[in-house]
Amino acid sequence: METSRAVSRFAALGHPGRMGVFRLLMRFVPHGMRPTEIGAELGLKPNTLSHYLSELFEQGLVSVERSGRSLFYSVDLAATENLVQFLVDDCCRGRPDLCGPITKGKRRRSDDRLNVLFLCSGNSARSICAEVLLRDIGGKRFRSFSAGTSPTGRIHSGTLAILGRNGHETSGLASKSVRTLVDGPPMDIVLTVCDRAAVADSIPHKGRPVASYWGVPDPVGRPDENEAFRETYATLRRRIEVFSDLPFDALEARDLQRQLDRIGTLSS
């Protein structure tokens, strides 16, 4: 990458407003977001947001796609990777003391179970279903956890019903805050299953988990709630079945990230 191009991109990210938009979009990779969603989440006026998006787009840091009448903005991962690589290789000369974790990645452990956290806001429906599904499908390869950024303190009756109908044991499950895990084991993988949790700041995690967005529509409160819970369960089950079959002992962090992002787009 030319130095002038890198400087322009760093300058674009050097503005707190544009950096805020970029950080938000990064949390939803590989999915895109509508401008109205971005503006609502960050409290930005339409004209201000339009200016930020235009600058990021001009610098090649975000891309835009049209679906029907809506525009969806997303991070351009190739451009972002090139910018990081410029910082690593050109500016820092690939120093192993600074860049080792970036250039080498983190190899998945092959001699122990992986700790997997499913994160949502209320920890009453989607993340609970995912925790139970991985527990029952993944067997001894994983330790399955779930938590919420703003837990309701109780598991929704629809969650218990759909799990029970599919033969899962539900005793001992609880809705809890992610902060209760601070003193627990370090997580290897964090999978966020709702929008509100994806944009939450200051979520404590030990270690350097590989994280991905696996957003699923909230079944609670939808007109046909029973059907919504069936759809939620089916989507999560398909994703977790694929996830459980990954060759974790052969995947570097970069490859694992791509697989997790891909699985997060699967539906029932």
Provide the pLDDT for residue 100.
Answer: 61
Same domain flag for 176 and 246: yes
If you write DSSP's letter for every residue of 200-267 in order, what string do you get?
Answer: ------SS--EEEE------TT-TTHHHHHHHHHHHHHHHHHHHHTS-GGG--HHHHHHHHHHHTT--
Domain that holds residue 23: 3-104
Give the CATH number, domain containing residue 171.
3.40.50.2300
Residue with tokens 């860049």: 99
Same domain flag for 258 and 143: yes
Same domain flag for 179 and 66: no
Is 49 buried (19+), middle (13-18) or exposed (0-12) by CB count in 10 A?
Answer: buried
Minimum mean pLDDT range among 17-26, 93-102, 256-265? 93-102
- The reply to whether 268 falls in a domain is no
Provide the pLDDT for residue 110.
Answer: 44
Q: pLDDT band for 17, please (50, 70, 90 cuts).
A: very high
pLDDT in tens, 215-240: 999 999 899 999 999 999 999 999 99
Handedness of CA 6, 65, 228, 136 (dihedral sign): negative
pLDDT score of 7 more than 70: yes
Q: pLDDT band for 107, please (50, 70, 90 cuts).
A: very low
Provide the pLDDT for residue 2.
Answer: 86
- The reply to whether 109 falls in a domain is no
pLDDT in tens, 53-90: 999 999 999 999 999 999 999 999 999 989 988 888 77
Q: pLDDT band for 203, please (50, 70, 90 cuts).
A: low
Same domain flag for 92 and 173: no
- pTM, two decimal places: 0.80
pLDDT score of 188 more than 80: yes
Between vectors from CA 42 to CA 36 and to CA 45, what angle results, nearest 5°?
Answer: 60
Same domain flag for 100 and 118: no
pLDDT score of 15 more than 70: yes
pLDDT in tens, 20-61: 999 999 999 989 999 999 999 999 999 999 999 999 999 999
Same domain flag for 125 and 256: yes
Provide the pLDDT for residue 131.
Answer: 97
Provide the pLDDT for residue 202.
Answer: 56
pLDDT score of 19 more than 80: yes
Same domain flag for 232 and 135: yes
Report percent pLDDT > 70 for the chain.
90
pLDDT score of 206 more than 70: no
Cβ–Cβ < 8 Å for 12, 55:
yes
Provide the pLDDT for residue 254.
Answer: 83
Cβ–Cβ < 8 Å for 260, 154:
no
pLDDT in tens, 120-157: 999 999 999 999 999 999 988 999 999 999 999 999 99
Residues 259-267 have a mean pLDDT of 93
The CB-side HSE value for 88 (13 A sphere, CA atoms) comes to: 16
Last residue of a domain, one of 85, 104, 123: 104
Residues 181-190 have a mean pLDDT of 88
pLDDT in tens, 155-175: 999 999 999 999 999 999 999
Same domain flag for 52 and 160: no
Number of domains in the chain: 2
Provide the pLDDT for residue 249.
Answer: 87
